[in-house]
Amino acid sequence: MTCLCEQIAGDDIEISPTCIGNHWIFNNLDPVEAKALGHGALRKKLIKGQSLFLQGDPADEMFLIKGGRVKLSKVLEDGTELMLDILKTGDFVGENMFSEEGKYPVSAVCLEDTMTCGFSRIQFEELVLQHPKLGLQIIKTLSKRISSLTDRVGSLAVANIEDRLYRVLGNVAKEHGVKSPQGVVIQFPLTHEDLGFLTGAHRVSVTRAMKALKESGKILLEGKRLILPSLKIA
């Protein structure tokens, strides 16, 4: 029997086989609890370009990405948009729901057709009261996210734009890439504007750095696929 997410997504979106009740963040639930968790979840199917939430919206829902990819970005006071992260199947988004500030500090927009499975603030507070171990798992998840963002800040501190861009591409490939005989492949397109946001550099500088990385053999381009030949991933 297919899960409800697969039924809603249809053939348009490749869905992760892991249901929200069996996800690692909800470890140590018995099968009955896990099943109840899945039944109570809110499911959404979104199209490319649609937002899960926008910067400044009330932070009242969290999402597990069951299929697709989501871009996180922030608009600064001067109107500049800063791309912060790209989330994949299996990632959570909307953890700001757990803070007292009440609003999302970033926007989450679908890079492709996406399926989510999640909970409202009220639902999750009730779940934590019933299953206190969920609170500990959330702490671990937030710690992991902080470590990831710290690594990204470290990449921005590299002065040489070529080295900075290669580190950023390496981080994206480790999160979203797949192994191939040629190296690690990033299978979705990243525009020079996207890479500019991720590296904190002007698009013209990114174009020059990309050219230099291609000439040195550190990256390969096959159509819209970007390949890192020497990158090692587990």
Average pLDDT (6-15) is 78
Average pLDDT (107-120) is 91
Looking at the structure, tell me whether residues 169 and 107 fall in a common domain: no
The CATH number of the domain where 35 resides is what? 2.60.120.10
Domain with 167, as residue range(s), is 159-228
Looking at the structure, tell me whether residues 11 and 124 fall in a common domain: yes
The CATH number of the domain where 182 resides is what? 1.10.10.10
Q: Is the pLDDT of residue 226 over 80?
A: yes
Burial track 20-42 (b if 16+ CB lie within 10 A, e otherwise): bbebeebeebeeebbebbbeebe
Q: How confident is the model at residue 157 (pLDDT cuts 50, 70, 90)?
A: low
- 234 domain-assigned: no
| pLDDT at res. 115 | 92
| pLDDT at res. 200 | 73
- 102 domain-assigned: yes
Q: Which of 109, 137, 155 is the last residue of a domain?
A: 155
- 130 domain-assigned: yes
Looking at the structure, tell me whether residues 25 and 136 fall in a common domain: yes
| pLDDT at res. 1 | 46
Looking at the structure, tell me whether residues 144 and 79 fall in a common domain: yes
Looking at the structure, tell me whether residues 141 and 218 fall in a common domain: no
Looking at the structure, tell me whether residues 100 and 141 fall in a common domain: yes
The mean-pLDDT minimum among 17-31, 121-135, 156-170, 218-232 falls in: 17-31
Looking at the structure, tell me whether residues 179 and 211 fall in a common domain: yes
| pLDDT at res. 89 | 84
Residue 115, beta-bridge partner list = 45, 67
Looking at the structure, tell me whether residues 151 and 169 fall in a common domain: no
Q: How confident is the model at residue 138 (pLDDT cuts 50, 70, 90)?
A: low
Looking at the structure, tell me whether residues 118 and 223 fall in a common domain: no
Which pLDDT tens digit goes with each residue over 16-63?
Answer: 776 777 666 666 666 776 776 777 788 999 999 999 999 999 988 888
The DSSP secondary structure of 92-142, one letter per residue, reads EE-GGGGSSS-B-SSEEEESS-EEEEEEEHHHHHHHHHH-THHHHHHHHHH
pTM for this entry? 0.61
Q: Is the pLDDT of residue 2 over 70?
A: no
Residue with tokens 């919206």: 57
How far apart are the C-alpha atoms of 218 and 135, rounded to whole Å?
Answer: 42
How far apart are the C-alpha atoms of 58 and 77, rounded to whole Å?
Answer: 19
C-beta atoms surrounding 95 within 10 Å: 15
Give the count of domains, the chain: 2
